[in-house]
C-alpha cells in the first residue's frame, strides 16, 4: 500500500527528521517505490516536490531532506502503484485551485471501478485517487457556489459536506486521505491512519525506520510549539493513536479542532484491499 504523512504545527517547521524515516519506506524499509511527493504550504502558495522514481534513491528527495523550507502544513505521499501507471502525472499529492486557494490531496487505498463524472476539475493522470479528488473539488464548487477568496465556506459546514462526499466515494473502496487548503489539515481514516501530538515537555525521540534520534526540545525550539503528525503507520517511538475507520479529523496549529465519526465505508472484503 501507499503511505501518507502530514504535519500541522503552530509555527513553520522543517521536515528533516520525519522525512528521513518516511523516505526510507519508499523502497528501502518498505515497498512504496513507485513515486513520491512532498508539499509545503507557504501562505496560500504551495511548494511541491515530486518524482515518479523510488523515494529512497531520489536525489531530489535527498535534497529536500536538507532543504531550508519550513511550513505549518506539510503533506507527503509515497506510492506503490495499484491503479494508474508509474509516471509523474500519477504521483500524489495532487493540487487544484479553488476559491483562490491551493487544495492539496493525497490518498491511500484503492477505489474499484470508480469513474465519476467530471464537470470542471478533470484528472491529469489516470489514478482512481485523482478522479476522487477532482470529483470532490467539483462537488465543493457546486455546494458552495458563492464561495470566493474573501468569502470561504464556514469551516464546520465545509467539514460536514466533506464527510458526506467522503461517504459517497468510500462506497467504491478504501479511502484514507489527507487534504488541506492551507488553513488546517484534514485526515480521513478508512483503514490505517495514526497521529501523534507533540507539545512541551519535549523529549528525545527515535525513528522506527532508521537509526536516528533527535531531541524535540532542540528542534522545535520553543515550549509553545504544538505539532500534530499524521501518518499511515507510526514513524517514531512517540505515543501514536490510531484513527478509527470512518473518522474525519481536522488539525489546526498542531491541535485537533474537529473529530467527526462518519460511515467507515467499503465492505470488509474491500477494506482489506489497501493498495494506493
Instruction: Rule CB under 8 A: say whether 149 interacts with its own copies.
Output: yes
Instruction: Rule CB under 8 A: say whether 99 interacts with its own copies.
Output: yes
Tell me, what DSSP letter sits at residue 180?
Answer: E
Q: How far apart are CA 223 and CA 225, in angstroms?
A: 5
Instruction: Rule CB under 8 A: say whether 100 interacts with its own copies.
Output: yes
The only residue of 3, 8, 13, 91 in contact with its own copies, by rule CB under 8 A: 91
Indicate the residue among 6 and 182 with the shorter CB distance to its own copies: 182
- Picking from 18, 14, 11, 16, the residue whose alpha carbon sits closest to that of residue 236 is 18
Instruction: Rule CB under 8 A: say whether 142 interacts with its own copies.
Output: no
Q: How far apart are CA 157 and CA 123, in angstroms?
A: 26
207 Cβ contact partners less than 8 Å away, ≥ 6 residues apart: 17, 20, 21, 213, 235, 236
Q: Which of residues 178-237 bind its own copies (CB under 8 A)?
A: none
The only residue of 29, 60, 197, 255 in contact with its own copies, by rule CB under 8 A: 60
Indicate the residue among 88 and 200 with the shorter CB distance to its own copies: 88
Q: How far apart are CA 84 and CA 129, in angstroms?
A: 9
- Find the part of the chain contacting its own copies (CB under 8 A) among 42-50, 167-175, 224-232, 247-255: 42-50
Contact 230, 134 (CB under 8 A): no
Indicate the residue among 42 and 83 with the shorter CB distance to its own copies: 42
For the chain, the distance separating the N- and C-terminal CA atoms, rounded to the nearest angstrom, is 5
**Least Cβ distance, residue 60 to its own copies (angstroms):** 7
Q: How far apart are CA 137 and CA 133, in angstroms?
A: 6
Q: Is 246 left (phi over 0), alpha (psi -120 to 50) or beta?
A: left
The only residue of 112, 115, 120, 142 in contact with its own copies, by rule CB under 8 A: 120
**Least Cβ distance, residue 103 to its own copies (angstroms):** 11
- What is the signed CA dihedral for 255, 30, 110, 190, rounded to 10 degrees? -30
Indicate the residue among 53 and 176 with the shorter CB distance to its own copies: 53
Contact 32, 77 (CB under 8 A): no
Instruction: Rule CB under 8 A: say whether 86 interacts with its own copies.
Output: no
Instruction: Rule CB under 8 A: say whether 115 interacts with its own copies.
Output: no
**Least Cβ distance, residue 95 to its own copies (angstroms):** 8
Catalytic: which of 2, 55, 56, 189? 2
**Least Cβ distance, residue 48 to its own copies (angstroms):** 7
Q: How far apart are CA 5 and CA 39, in angstroms?
A: 10
Instruction: Rule CB under 8 A: say whether 50 interacts with its own copies.
Output: yes
2 is catalytic: yes
For β-strands 194-198 and 241-242, DSSP reports them as: antiparallel
**Radius of gyration of the chain from Cα atoms?**
17
What residues make contact with its own copies under the rule CB under 8 A?
Answer: 42-45, 47-48, 50, 59-60, 63, 67-68, 87-89, 91, 96-97, 99-102, 118, 120-125, 141, 148-149
Q: Which residues are catalytic?
A: 2
Amino acid at each position: 500500500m501507499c503511505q501518507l504523512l502530514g504535519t500541522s504545527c503552530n509555527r513553520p517547521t522543517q521536515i528533516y527528521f520525519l522525512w528521513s524515516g518516511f523516505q526510507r519506506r519508499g523502497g528501502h524499509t518498505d515497498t512504496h517505490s513507485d513515486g513520491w511527493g512532498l508539499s509545503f504550504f507557504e501562505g496560500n502558495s504551495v511548494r511541491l516536490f515530486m518524482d515518479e522514481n523510488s523515494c529512497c534513491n531520489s536525489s531530489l528527495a535527498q535534497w529536500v531532506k536538507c532543504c531550508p523550507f519550513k511550513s505549518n502544513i506539510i503533506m507527503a505521499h509515497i506510492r506503490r502503484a495499484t491503479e494508474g501507471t508509474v509516471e509523474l502525472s500519477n504521483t500524489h499529492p495532487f493540487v487544484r485551485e479553488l476559491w483562490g486557494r491551493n487544495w492539496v490531496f493525497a490518498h491511500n487505498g484503492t477505489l474499484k471501478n470508480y469513474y465519476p463524472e467530471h464537470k470542471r476539475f478533470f484528472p491529469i493522470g489516470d489514478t482512481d485517487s485523482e478522479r476522487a479528488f477532482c470529483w470532490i473539488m467539483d462537488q465543493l464548487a457546486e455546494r458552495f457556489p458563492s464561495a470566493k477568496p474573501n468569502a470561504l465556506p464556514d469551516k464546520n459546514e465545509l467539514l460536514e459536506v466533506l464527510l458526506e462526499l467522503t461517504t459517497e466515494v468510500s462506497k467504491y473502496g478504501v479511502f484514507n486521505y489527507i487534504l488541506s487548503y492551507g488553513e488546517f489539515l484534514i485526515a480521513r481514516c478508512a483503514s490505517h491512519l495514526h497521529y501523534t501530538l507533540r507539545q512541551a515537555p519535549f523529549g528525545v525521540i527515535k525513528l522506527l525506520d532508521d537509526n536516528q534520534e533527535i531531541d524535540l526540545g532542540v528542534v522545535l525550539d520553543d515550549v509553545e510549539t504544538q505539532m500534530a503528525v499524521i501518518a499511515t503507520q507510526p514513524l517514531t517511538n512517540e505515543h501514536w493513536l490510531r484513527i478509527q475507520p470512518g473518522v474525519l479529523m481536522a488539525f489546526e496549529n498542531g491541535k485537533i479542532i474537529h473529530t467527526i465519526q462518519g460511515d467507515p465505508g467499503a465492505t470488509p472484503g474491500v477494506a482489506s484491499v489497501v493498495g494506493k
